[in-house]
Every structure is written in structure tokens, then in C-alpha cells.
Chain A
């Protein structure tokens, strides 16, 4: 599995309140949420983001509220992957549980610039900055988490597990 797209770059501690402000949490409709993604720190994001594009950020991405609406909004915008130095733990769980690809890679987060064209191969963890030609290796997920991703999310993994037990 791969994604390729343009980079939107943000700094440390991007919180879920700016990813999707609470004033829009009176709905759980993914399309409606996507219309307001990032609007308090980047009014241009929604206008320019295209399917497959990549968010690159610093430390503690997705800190704050547990709202799953945050990864839902990012995914519904078409974002193919979030690369950060580190993720806040609830955002990390939520992204895996709903199937939004995320990767931790400090070097890539430092060096890749806004607007660069980047390719991410999820099977190998290889991040390629096509604009500069430089490649980076991200930490692979633990096997247990890989199995959740392979199943298509947490609930699908639980269902699969249940069916295996029934057989």
C-alpha cells in the first residue's frame, strides 16, 4: 500500500481542537467535519488538500481531546498519511482504529518541507521525498497493531477474531 502527494507542514503540539474545532462537533458526519479540518491554524488547508496528500508535523501530534472526529476529518479530506515526530496517545489509537495511516519519523519530520512531493510505502515504512530525492525509514508498527490495520480497523479485527474462534 502506498500514498503519494503534496506535503502540508505543521509544528509541534497540533491539538485536536485545531484539527476539528469543538463548535463543529454537533455532527459526526465525516464530510461535514472535513470541511472545517485545520481551519483555526490553516484556513487554506481544506481549499488545497487533495487525495493522497500528506501531513508532516512535529512532536505530540493530535494532543488534547479524545475526539475521533479529528482523524475522521483528516481522513475524509483525502489525506493519505500523517508523518510526525511523535503522536499523542489517544490520537495514535484512534488513527489505527479507524485506518488512518500514521508514521513516526523524526528525521523526515525535520527535513521534509511544505509543498514537497512525497511517497510513502506502508509495507516497508519507506518515506521518499521525491522533490529532494532523499529517503527515510519509519518505525514499523508492532505486529499486534499491524494485524488491526490489516483487518481494516479495530472492530473488523474483533469480528475476524470472533469468527476464527467460532470455526
Chain B
């Protein structure tokens, strides 16, 4: 039976010649991930079930990123549970304050994930690593606990939707506009239980940061995973970075897909998701009447170096509109350092923005930019559900870094035009 790229990775990790959609399998895991919110629940379950050891201390990643540097005593206690567990089990990929970054920006950057991997993470945006050609999916804490104990997880082999990309993006658009466009087309459950397999001659023009952003939001269409083919861009990114050698899988030419969606990248426009679902997409230029109170630039979706560079180019020498709070959060310490060294941070501050250490913070309404009742925020984050960034009557508009930065200068949702 011909297989999709995802099915090939799953078959290999299940020790099977081939698999078919709908089949239940047990697969070996290359990386098991958790964070300061989900790992404590997993650790509690791991200990309650009296497991003595983790399956491999080098294949577990625990990243403190959601509420660190800790926002309150309770959050500090959760971090402490992670810290104690990581120390007692000698977890090599444990990232505390000073080393940490937002997990889905950090693990690819540090080379912890690579092509051909089978990865679970107790965080829904674990699907990000499909960008490097891995099968990677979000699970809950109990699955994480089981993964830490056994190095295995059960999966129902997914069917797939093929997303054929052609053409090349215009300069005022990025990966974020591509994934928002796709979610707008298929809806928040349009890929439920399925893989989103990206392909086509448009792929080569997408940078790794674009691909990471696109796969990151596959879950926002309900997908089990998003995945890109491995090409020269992937190999250049993984070279001198990945801890383990990449294993390259590609979909069979006659692989079966439930449907094919074609996106001409040259026709993608700056896109915004309106409250309260990521599928409520509109072209940014149709929303110029929406007055905003806050801008958040960061998160596992858009806190990477290319995002920071795009924002720098727009804010440099300009002033953020009076009354607008603009919060910029580089996603990892390495990105933070590069922003300092390149002079971005100085320009951000000169423009009137604040710059935070890496944290998920406001994206999930944790801290560092919570909205009051009725306030509106344009954010480069990934969800705009009711109450996501604060008060239940506040509103989040999802957009690219370029659209968010351009909006910071005007105080209204603004399409960036070079």
C-alpha cells in the first residue's frame, strides 16, 4: 500500500513494513516533551504509578516556558516539581530560566528534534516540528507520563490532506498568512484527526521560520500533525545543529489523500483571524476600522529571528501610536541575544515598545500583558478563543509580525505596505 510521509515515519517507528489509515499502532518515540504546566501533572501520574526510571534521560525534554520567570508562588511550585524531577532523573534536555526559550522555538533551534523523528509533547503546538520533516504531535500529561516511562505511545494512523503550495510569497506576507489562509478555508476542525502534508514547488521558497510557523498552527485546523518534505532548506537548517542524524522519508507518489487543497503563495494576502476562532479570517485591509489597545509580538508561532527582523524593519525610526501598548517577546535566549547584538532591542525601545525575556506569557493569558474587559489586541500568537488573553470580553486578532508591527504604528489594524 502506498503511504503518506507521516504514515512512513509511523510505520518505521512501529517496526512495520506498512500501515494504513485507521490502524492502531504502538510507536517508539525519539523525544517526549513537557512544560511547566503539563509536566507537573505527568510527573504526578508517573510517580503515582510507581515507575522507577525514565526510558532514556537523553530523550526527554522539559522546558519551563509558560509561566517563567515565575509569575506567582503557585507557578513557582509547579516549576519546582519539574526541576526536582529533572535533577533526580538526570534529564539532559532540561531548560530552566537563563537557558530556556519557548519550547517549540527552542527544540528545533537547539537541534533536539530532527527529520524522521517520532515525537510527542504535552503541548498542543508540538506539531511545530513537522517543519523539519518529523512526525510530531501534541498529547496530554498522562500520555507524556507513559512516554517517559516506556518510550512508546499508541496512535491511530491518520489519513491526510495534501496542501499543494505553488508560487512565491509577496514581501508583506509570511508563513503566518499562509496558515491563517488555510485555516480560514478548512475551518478549526477541517483536518480533525488528519495529517496536513505540505508539498509543491512553492515549498522551496519558504524559509525554515515560515515552515515552523505553518506547522505550529496545524492544530488550529484540528490536525494531528503538519509536515513538510525534507529539502535543501531543511538540511541546511539541521546541519551543525541536530544532535542526531536526520532520516529522510518522503510520501509515495501514489499515496492516498482525502483531498487536495491548492494555495498559490503569490495570491496570499496579509490575513487576520477575528475573534473568537482562528477560522474567522479576513484580509487585514478590510479591518482598518478596528481600533486596538495592545500589540503582542512573540509566542511559539512568531517569536523567531525572522519575525524579529520583520518587526525591526517596520518599527525602526518610527513611534508606536500613543496609547498603544506594544509587547515584544523574542522566543529564546539565543534570539534575545541576537536582537541585542543587532541593535533591534534599542530600536524597539526607542519606538516605544517593551521587550520581555522569553515566555509564553500573554499568549495564553498567563501574565505579561493581560487584557482588561472590552480591550482589543492584535497578536502574532495562535489562538483567539474567549478569554484567551485575559478578560472574557476582551478580543484577540491573530496576525503576522508585519501586520502586528504596522498596526502598532497606527493604532488600528493595518496592512503593511512597503
A interface, CB within 8 angstroms of B:
13, 15, 17-18, 21-23, 25-28, 40-41, 59-60, 63-69, 71-72, 86, 88-90, 93-94, 97-98, 142, 144, 153-156, 158-159
A23 touches B143 (CB 8 A): no
Number of A-B contacts (CB under 8 A): 136
In the bound assembly, the distance between CA atoms of A89 and B392 in angstroms comes to 25
Q: Can you name 18 extra interface pairs (CB under 8 A) apart from A26-B78, A90-B138, A94-B139?
A: A17-B387, A18-B387, A23-B370, A25-B67, A26-B67, A26-B74, A27-B78, A60-B189, A60-B192, A66-B140, A67-B37, A68-B142, A86-B192, A88-B192, A89-B224, A93-B139, A93-B140, A155-B46
Residues of B within 8 A of A69 (CB): 37, 41
Residues of A within 8 A of B189 (CB): 13, 59-60, 63, 86, 88
Residues of B within 8 A of A98 (CB): 140, 142
B interface, CB within 8 angstroms of A:
24, 37-38, 40-41, 44-46, 48-49, 66-67, 71-72, 74-75, 78, 121-124, 126, 138-143, 145-146, 149-150, 154, 188-189, 192-193, 219, 222, 224, 277, 364-366, 370, 383, 385-388, 392
- Of the A-B pairs whose beta carbons lie under 8 Å apart in the complex, a sample of 5, sorted by A's number, is A26-B71, A65-B383, A67-B38, A144-B24, A158-B146
Closest 3 CB pairs of A and B: A94-B140, A26-B74, A97-B142
Residues of A within 8 A of B78 (CB): 26-28
In the bound assembly, the distance between CA atoms of A21 and B140 in angstroms comes to 16
Residues of A within 8 A of B41 (CB): 28, 68-69, 72
Q: What distance in Å separates the Cβ of B175 from its nearest Cβ neighbour in chain A?
A: 20
Q: What distance in Å separates the Cβ of B107 from its nearest Cβ neighbour in chain A?
A: 16
B40 and chain A: residue at smallest CB distance: A28
B24 touches A17 (CB 8 A): no
A93 touches B365 (CB 8 A): no
In the bound assembly, the distance between CA atoms of A159 and B121 in angstroms comes to 22
Given contacts A22-B364, A23-B365, A60-B189, is CB(A66)–CB(B388) below 8 Å?
no
In the bound assembly, the distance between CA atoms of A52 and B160 in angstroms comes to 38
Residues of B within 8 A of A40 (CB): 386-387, 392
B49 touches A68 (CB 8 A): no
From B37, B142, B219, contact of A154 by CB (8 A): B142
Given contacts A22-B365, A93-B143, is CB(A13)–CB(B188) below 8 Å?
yes
